[in-house]
Structure 1
Amino acid sequence: MALLVLSGQPCSGKSIVAAALKQLLTAKGLEVVIIDEPSLSLKRNHSYKDSVSEKNTRGSLKSAVERAVSKRHFVILDSLNNIKGYRYELWCIARAAGTRCCVVHCKVPKETAWAWNKGRAPDEDAYSSAVFEDLWCRYEEPDARQRWDAPLFRLAPDEGVDSMAPVLQGVVQSLTEVAGPQQQSVVAKQLQPTQATSNAPLSATNLLHEIDAGAQDVIGRISAAQELAGSIGTGRMDMGEGVDALQLDRPVTLAELRRHKRVFLKMSTQNLASRLPDRQSARRMFVNYLREHLT
């Protein structure tokens, strides 16, 4: 149904917000999935200790989001999401799935975040001072003017859940309500898949090979028929099941047939790919091409 991206510096209260939003959404009878580092058995301090570890962590989180996002349930990504390019990739995932997407920015003073980090229990994987400082300095704050960061909601978790209640309700309404002409609250748009975000059809995986094989089969039939006919003339030739016969009133050399095949391959892969899902269709279209250009 929707992807909700939490963004904030380390120890800024994102997990508190995620739990509160899950409670509100569950109360509406909706299925909610929270994805974070612990759910993937990742230790936060270890996951962000260097650029390689951070890249692998982001990749694991994004893969989990891709698997979970659907029109059946809500996905809350509880992580730093501190790079605007990464938030754009998440937005593209939501668009490819045809769901809604919004960003919630959690912001607290640096002193508060460090105090919360130091107050974590030993088994909660607190950040080291070096990792904490590095992540804090590199954070790229969401901007509502960017389509992948909109709609954008801002929260201050250090002020308590009660003070956040109106904004949390706004987030839920944004993801569950339908926008109307007199809509007062911000409603996230239902994203629509595009060619850039949609997976290519399976028929295009081996498209060039299938078209080439189909065209070569036609050339083989023409060459064989001309050899049998000799100097008499080719005339009408059978092109196989599902393909109309081809009438040739003059001999055609193999070099000429190969030249036509190269042109046909170029045209097919550029303009006619959606019309050539298999080898049989390629044979039929190549015969039609030859019928037009050789007669």
Structure 2
Amino acid sequence: MALVVLSGQPCSGKSSVAAALKQLLEGKGLEVSIIDEPGLSMKRNLSYKDSISEKNTRGKLKSAVERAISKRHFIILDSLNNIKGYRYELWCIARAAGTRCCVVHCAVPKEQAWAWNEGREPDHDAYSSDVFEDLWRRYEEPDARQRWDAPLFRLAPDQGADSMQPVLQGVVDSLTEQAGPRQRSVVAKQLQPTQATSNAPLSATNLLAEIDGGAQDVIGRISAAQELAGSSGAGRVQMGDGVDDLQLSRPVTLGELRRHKRVFLKMSTQSLASRLPDRQSAQRMFVNYLREHVD
């Protein structure tokens, strides 16, 4: 139904806001999912320690949003979302899916954010001083004049739950079209897919070849990882190219992988063609298929 993009400096109370917003939406009987770094088995400090790690982190978060977004439930992206270009990419995902989208900006003083950071566990969620300062310096604040940052809701988590409640209720009303007459300007509109925000689907002439090629790329990476690991099993297989890594608990033979590929090809060409706009999507869906069918 909608994508809620939380944005804010490190340790600005975004996770608390996400939990409170989830509770309000679920109170209306709506299905809600929160996507964040810990939910994808990533530690925040390591995820933003350098430009390469940060790029990979944003890619994994964006891929998770692409997989989860639909017209049936709400997605709350609980992350920094500190780059305006990245927020534009998220808005394009929402538009391509034909859902609503809004941005919730959490703002707290730097001293309060650092105090909250020091109260976290060092090995779990706490940022080092260098990473914290770098992220704080590079933060690009949302601007409601930009269509990808609108509607924009601002709140201050350090002021307490009572001060946040009216803003959070406004977010819920905006996404469910229940805002009053004076609030009509903040209703999140239903975004419509356009050619600019949607990838052209694979043509019938090369559909099977592209899906087969994407699946074969995945098999190649698995085979290479297992060859390096020996008899102990590959464990985590890195896919790259915006595709989430695959965790294997046991060695998988080439014959078994080929059998899975044949089933996936048959299933894809019969019922999933409209959801496969490019080769990377085929790779991503084959990895998800293996994740479900390889014990």
TM-score range, shorter chain: 0.5 to 0.7
C-alpha contact 2:69 2:75 (8 A) present in aligned 1: yes
Change (3 A) 1:39 1:188: same
Residue 152 of structure 1 and its aligned partner are, at CA, apart by 0.2
Find the aligned partners of 1:74 and 1:125 in 2 and give their Cα distance: 25
Larger Rg: 1
| Distance (whole Å) between structure 2 residues aligned to residue 73 and residue 83 of structure 1 | 25
| Contact 2:173/2:179 (8 A) holds in 1 | no
> Helix, strand or coil: the match of 2:139?
coil
Q: State the match for 2:183 in structure 1.
A: 184
Length-normalised TM-score, structure 1: 0.67
In the alignment, is the contact (CA less than 8 A) between 2:170 and 2:179 conserved in 1?
Answer: no
Tell me the residue number matched to 2:170: 170
Determine the structure 2 residue equivalent to 1:104: 104
- Residue 201 of structure 1: how far off its partner (Å): 2.8
CA 116–197 in structure 1, closer or farther in 2 if over 3 Å, else same: same
Q: CA deviation at 1:130?
A: 0.2
Aligned pairs for 1:212-231 (under 5 A) are none
Which consecutive residues of structure 1, in runs of 5 or more, have no partner in the other structure?
208-295
Question: What CA distance in whole angstroms lies between the structure 2 residues aligned with 1:73 and 1:206?
Answer: 33
Structure 2 match to 1:140: 140
Cα pair distance change 1:106/1:152, threshold 3 Å = same
- Structure 2 unaligned segments of length 5 or more: list them: 208-295
Partner AA of 1:184 in structure 2: Q
**Post-superposition shift, 1:162?**
1.1
Supply the distance in 1 between the matched residues of 2:152 and 2:90 (Cα, whole angstroms): 14
Map of 1:14 onto structure 2 = 14
Distance 1:200 1:88 in 2: 19
Change (3 A) 1:72 1:150: same
Displacement of 1:196:
1.7
Residues 114-140 of structure 1 deviation map (CA, whole Å, 9 limit, x = unaligned): 000001134532000000000000000
2:106–2:156 CA contact under 8 A, matched in 1: yes
Could you tell me which residue of structure 1 aligns to residue 234 of structure 2?
none
Are the equivalent residues in 1 in contact too, given 2:4–2:76 (CA < 8 A)? yes
Structure 1 distance, partners of 2:179, 2:93, is 22
d(CA) in 2 for partners of 1:205 and 1:150? 40
**Percent of matched pairs sharing the same residue:** 87
Counterpart in the other structure of 1:28: 28
**Match of residue 158 from structure 1:** 158
Report how many aligned residue pairs link the two structures.
Answer: 207
TM-score (norm 2): 0.67
1:120 partner amino acid: R
Shift of the 150–205 alpha-carbon distance from structure 1 to 2, 3 Å rule, reads farther
Structure 2 residue matching 1:112: 3-state secondary structure:
helix
Q: How large is the RMSD of aligned CA atoms in angstroms?
A: 1.8
How many angstroms does 1:179 deviate by?
Answer: 7.2
User: What is the match of residue 196 of structure 2?
Assistant: 196
- Per-residue CA deviations over 1:122-166 (Å, capped at 9, x if unaligned) read 453200000000000000000000000000000100011111111
**1:55 — aligned with what?**
55
* Alignment partner, residue 4 of structure 1: 4
